Structure 1
Amino acid sequence: MPQPQLKTIPTNIITGFLGAGKTTAILHLLRHKPDNERWAVLINEFGEIGVDGTLVQGTHTEEDGIFVREVPGGCMCCTAGLPMQIALNQLLAKARPHRLLIEPTGLGHPAEVLQTLAAEHYREVLSIQKTITLVDARKLADARYTSHDTFNQQIAIADLVVGNKQDLYDEADRACLEAYVQEKGSPGTPVEYVIQGAIDPQWLKGPASLVVPAYRPRPAQAPNARLLGTPGSTLASSQGEGYESIGWRFDAGQVFDYGKLLAFLTGLEAERMKAAFITDRGVFGYNLTRDGLTEIELDDLAESRFEAIATPVDSRWESRLQDCLLT
């Protein structure tokens, strides 16, 4: 018997610049998913390796009613949106979800994501609800953020701006964020504040404004992949939007020394780093921002992955990662 047609799936974009806490917020939302619902998550990453999907799948499974699909390698709307459309169609067909969450890369173009979702062939399938933009208000003092077109686009398309990591703010940070949203955002865009991405699931509900400025599709970047000297390991790198990324994948036979690995990750100088590793003490996921390194224990892992965004990347990371492998 054919499946009934998918219709009006509530769909939210969760966006924000590097280190704003998008993945943490999505993990929080998934923990509060109604037990009788299936949710789908489409994750886009700037780098070629892709780690966010691994971190989500390491804590939530399809048996829990959570389905995840990744689109690595820059903005998923490049080359007329085909990477995103293919991944989205496959995800919807498999999950048949009650809600869809989309996390564009922090260096991606959320207005183009909205354009793709609003296309005619998705008009009856998706019900576009609020776009939530996460911001670390302390970053407004950094010209690399406020002068970046993507950062400002994320503010401009937001139906709700969430000041994440509010426990690290002072009153001036709050005032600065609210003034910036008033200047760059749509009129009347509300601002809420949370700690550790604890978005209220009720904030997802309600229609999006869908006032999307016109953006032309951008050419996709070709990945640069090569084998490492260690068998079973692959490197991939890319660059764009003023940043570089580098990452590695290690097959399940590559096991890391937990102590050496933690020392390496703690000392990294990067704008952003995410990783998931099979170690001699278990399976762990890592998240590095300017505020420090966090670690979570994962249930399972098919392979180890590491990805960092920096300006520029450090050529010594390759040999230092190799030194962390158990012989």
Structure 2
Amino acid sequence: MKDVYLLSGFLGSGKTSLLTDVIRQFKEQGLKPAVIMNELGKLAFDSQAVEEDVPLKEMLEGCICCTGAEKTEAQIQSLLFDQQFDVLLIETTGAAHPVEALDAVFSPIFAEQLNIKGIVTVADSKLWLNRATLSPQARSLFMEQIRHAHVLLANKIDLLTEEEQAQVVYELQSFNPRAVLLQTTNGRVPIKFLQQMQSMVQPTKESIVSAKIGESFNLGSRLIQFTQSFSEEEFEAWVRSLPETIYRMKGYVPITGVRNPMLFQYAYGMVQWLPEYIKMEPKLVIIGENIANIQVIGEE
């Protein structure tokens, strides 16, 4: 399996500086990284920071999430098919919500080939102190990116006084107590620290393994393998029984009387069923908070 790191953070926070430094450190370890970069505009600008020997896929106009999830899946499949690499780094646009970005990365098609290590969010420390100046929508996104981080980098810490540094650390730790917090300059973090992150993928309750970093992460994923079929009605009844902290589900569900497992998608309380003309593996990826103990349909 290939490790995957999702780099999140608000516009101008220092994600590209983090990306280039992480690439350098992986290469020094003898590992070959691949990169998917997401940008809001039509021209690839940040991607110029990635060296030519690193496999790169670009997602322009902010399409890594929401309606562009299928495009991201295609890019990942393309990398897996025709590129040799050891680790995948995905840099999201500063306007991407972490859950939306995760939705684009998790696919039942290649779920067993990727080991999602988690979300590394770069937070501009000075912007945190001045967040009241942001519009309500921008401030909400800024806070959400921080709230869902597994590792949180208080970046540009060198621009603050000692008193301001202490305030930022205290407030960020209080806002997201589950994340491991690092104070950074130019987005630099030891790669071995990131490699200790716990995998977000939890195939079964029995296989959850604790790790030095992140044994209490609230945002995670779970891969379900179905061994029986259901009616659409009973499957949707199970979906309605799930807590509101389940944000996304995507996969192929075996339906009684239907030849191939149907493509099922769930987001914000809405469900969608689509017929599938190829026999896909009956698997479902669930993304949400505190999902380890939810009762899965069909399980005793």
Same fold, TM exceeding 0.5? Answer: yes
Q: Normalising to structure 2: TM-score of the pair?
A: 0.62
Q: Do residues 14 (structure 1) and 2 (structure 2) align?
A: no
8 A contact 1:12–1:130 mirrored in 2: yes
8 A contact 1:145–1:151 mirrored in 2: no
Indicate which of 124, 139, 143 corresponds to 1:152.
143
Alpha-carbon spacing, 1:146–1:211, altered in 2? closer, same or farther (3 Å): farther
- Aligned partner of 2:73 in structure 1 is 85
- How many residues are treated as equivalent by the alignment? 203
Alpha-carbon spacing, 1:122–1:152, altered in 2? closer, same or farther (3 Å): farther
CA distance in 2, matches of 1:190, 1:173: 19
Matched ranges for 1:215-294 at <5 A: 216=267
CA distance in 2, matches of 1:98, 1:137: 32
> Aligned AA for 1:199?
V
> Aligned AA for 1:102?
I
Q: Do residues 191 (structure 1) and 175 (structure 2) align?
A: no
CA offsets per residue over residues 15-52 of structure 1, 9 Å max, x none? Answer: 11111110011111111223532210110011121211
CA distance in 1, matches of 2:110, 2:166: 39
- Aligned partner of 1:118 in structure 2 is 106
8 A contact 2:20–2:49 mirrored in 1: no
CA offsets per residue over residues 115-140 of structure 1, 9 Å max, x none? Answer: 33333223201101132111111112
TM-fit CA distance, 1:161: 0.8
CA distance in 2, matches of 1:152, 1:192: 17
- Aligned partner of 1:282 in structure 2 is none
TM-fit CA distance, 1:181: 2.4
8 A contact 2:126–2:156 mirrored in 1: no
CA distance in 2, matches of 1:92, 1:150: 31
Bigger RCO (CA 8 Å, 6+ sep): 1
Q: Do residues 106 (structure 1) and 94 (structure 2) align?
A: yes
Q: Which region of structure 1 is more displaced relative to structure 2, 99-108 or 133-142? A: 133-142
TM-fit CA distance, 1:75: 4.1
CA distance in 1, matches of 2:52, 2:68: 31
Could you say what secondary structure the match of 1:135 adopts?
strand
TM-fit CA distance, 1:10: 0.5
Q: Normalising to structure 1: TM-score of the pair?
A: 0.57
CA offsets per residue over residues 126-180 of structure 1, 9 Å max, x none? Answer: 1011321111111122325484222122112111111112211113332332333
TM-fit CA distance, 1:203: 2.4
Show structure 1 runs of 5+ residues with no match.
Answer: 1-7, 218-327
Q: Do residues 176 (structure 1) and 184 (structure 2) align?
A: no
CA distance in 1, matches of 2:122, 2:169: 13
TM-fit CA distance, 1:95: 2.3
CA distance in 2, matches of 1:155, 1:145: 15
- Aligned partner of 1:28 in structure 2 is 21
- Aligned partner of 1:51 in structure 2 is 45
Identity level (%): 26
8 A contact 2:8–2:98 mirrored in 1: yes
8 A contact 2:155–2:183 mirrored in 1: yes
> Aligned AA for 2:38?
N
Alpha-carbon spacing, 1:96–1:210, altered in 2? closer, same or farther (3 Å): farther
Alpha-carbon spacing, 1:143–1:93, altered in 2? closer, same or farther (3 Å): farther
TM-fit CA distance, 1:111: 1.1
Indicate which of 57, 60, 66 corresponds to 1:72.
60
8 A contact 2:150–2:179 mirrored in 1: yes
Alpha-carbon spacing, 1:68–1:10, altered in 2? closer, same or farther (3 Å): same
- Root-mean-square deviation (Å): 2.2
- Aligned partner of 1:37 in structure 2 is 31
Show structure 2 runs of 5+ residues with no match.
Answer: 201-216, 221-244, 249-266, 269-300
CA distance in 1, matches of 2:10, 2:63: 13
- Aligned partner of 1:211 in structure 2 is 219
8 A contact 1:117–1:126 mirrored in 2: no
